[in-house]
A = this chain, B = another copy of it.
Amino acid sequence: MSARLQTDKSQAVEVAKELFWRRGFEDVSIEEVVKATGFNRYALYTAFGGKREIFLATLDAYYQERRSIFLTSLDDPDTAPLEAIRRVFEFAINEMAERGTGCMMCNAATAAGDPDPLVIERVETYLEEIRSAYIEALQRAQAREEINTTISIEAEAALFITLMFGLGVHARRGASSQEMMSVVDSTISLLANSRQP
Interface residues of A (CB under 8 A from B): 23-27, 100, 102, 106-107, 109-115, 120, 123-124, 127, 151-152, 154-156, 158-159, 161-170, 172-174, 179-180, 182-183, 185-187, 189-197
Contact = CB atoms under 8 A, between A and B. Distances in A.
Contact of A174 (B120, B155, B163): B120
Contacts of A106: 110, 169
Contact of A179 (B23, B151, B158): B158
A118 B169 CA distance: 16
Nearest to A119: B173
Contacts of A174: 115, 120
B27 A113 contact: yes
Contacts of A168: 110, 165, 169
15 contacts: A24-B113, A100-B115, A109-B169, A111-B111, A124-B173, A152-B182, A155-B183, A155-B185, A161-B166, A164-B166, A165-B167, A166-B169, A187-B187, A190-B190, A193-B195
A109 B103 CA distance: 12
A174 B124 CA distance: 10
A69 to B, nearest CB: 20
A162 to B, nearest CB: 4
A107 to B, nearest CB: 5
Q: Is the interface of A mostly helix, strand, loop or mixed?
A: helix
B27 A186 contact: no
Nearest to A186: B155
A166, A174, A191 — most chain B CB neighbours (10 Å): A166
A190 B191 CA distance: 7
A158 B182 contact: yes
A194 B165 CA distance: 24
Contact of A26 (B113, B189, B190, B195): B113
Contacts of A152: 182, 186
